[in-house]
Chain A
Amino acid sequence: MRKFAYETFLFLTWLLPMLFFSYLAFVFIFFTLFPDFPLILNQKNILALSNSQFAFGLILLFVLSFIGLYLKVKEKSLNFSLPKLGSTSEWLVLLTTSYFFSYFIIRTFFELRRFNSLLILSLTLFFIFFLYNLSTFLTSPNLEYFKLLIFSSQKKSYSLFSNKYHRQILLNFGRNGFILFLSTLFCLVLVYLTLWTLENVYAFGSQKVALILLLSSVWFLFGYLIKVQLQRRLNYLIYIFRKIAANKKVLHEFKEMTLNILKSFLIGLGIISLFAVIVGFFAWRLNRQAQIQKKLRESLVITDIVPHKTTLAELVKVRGYNFGWRLNPNDKLLSDYGPVIVEEWTEQQISFRVPLNWQVGELNLWVEKYETDNDNYTRKLQSNKLQIEIASRWTYYPSQEELDRKDIGSYISRGLKKIRRFILHRE
Chain B
Amino acid sequence: MLFIDGTRRKLVQGMLLLISYYFALRILNSTNDFVTLVIIVSLYLAIFGTFKALFCSFASDLGKSKFNKSSFGKNLILSLLWVCSVILAKKAGASAWLFDSFDDATLLFFIYLPFALLFAISERTNIILAIILWLYTAFFYLNNFKLTTDLFTILAFWLFALAVFKKFYEV
Contact = CB atoms under 8 A, between A and B. Distances in A.
Interface residues of A, number: 42
B81 A36 contact: no
B117 interface: yes
Contact of A201 (B28, B83, B92): B28
B48 to A, nearest CB: 22
Contacts of A99: 94
Nearest to A98: B85
Contacts of A90: 75, 78, 118
B28 A22 contact: no
Given A35-B148, A86-B71, A93 B78 contact: yes
A305 interface: no
Interface stretch (B50-58, B104-112, B156-164): B104-112
Nearest to A39: B35
Contacts of A22: 80
B64 interface: no
Contacts of A32: 104, 107-108, 151
A197 to B, nearest CB: 8
What size tier do the contact residues of chain B reach? Answer: 35 or more
Nearest to A25: B83
Q: Interface majority SS on B: helix, strand, loop or mixed?
A: helix
B82 A97 contact: yes
Interface in B113-171: 114, 117-118, 140, 145-148, 151
B74 A139 contact: yes
Contacts of A12: none
B83 A29 contact: yes
A50 to B, nearest CB: 9
Given A21-B83, A24-B84, A100-B86, 16 more contacts: A32-B107, A33-B108, A37-B35, A38-B33, A38-B34, A90-B75, A93-B79, A96-B82, A96-B114, A97-B78, A100-B88, A104-B88, A104-B89, A104-B91, A108-B92, A139-B77
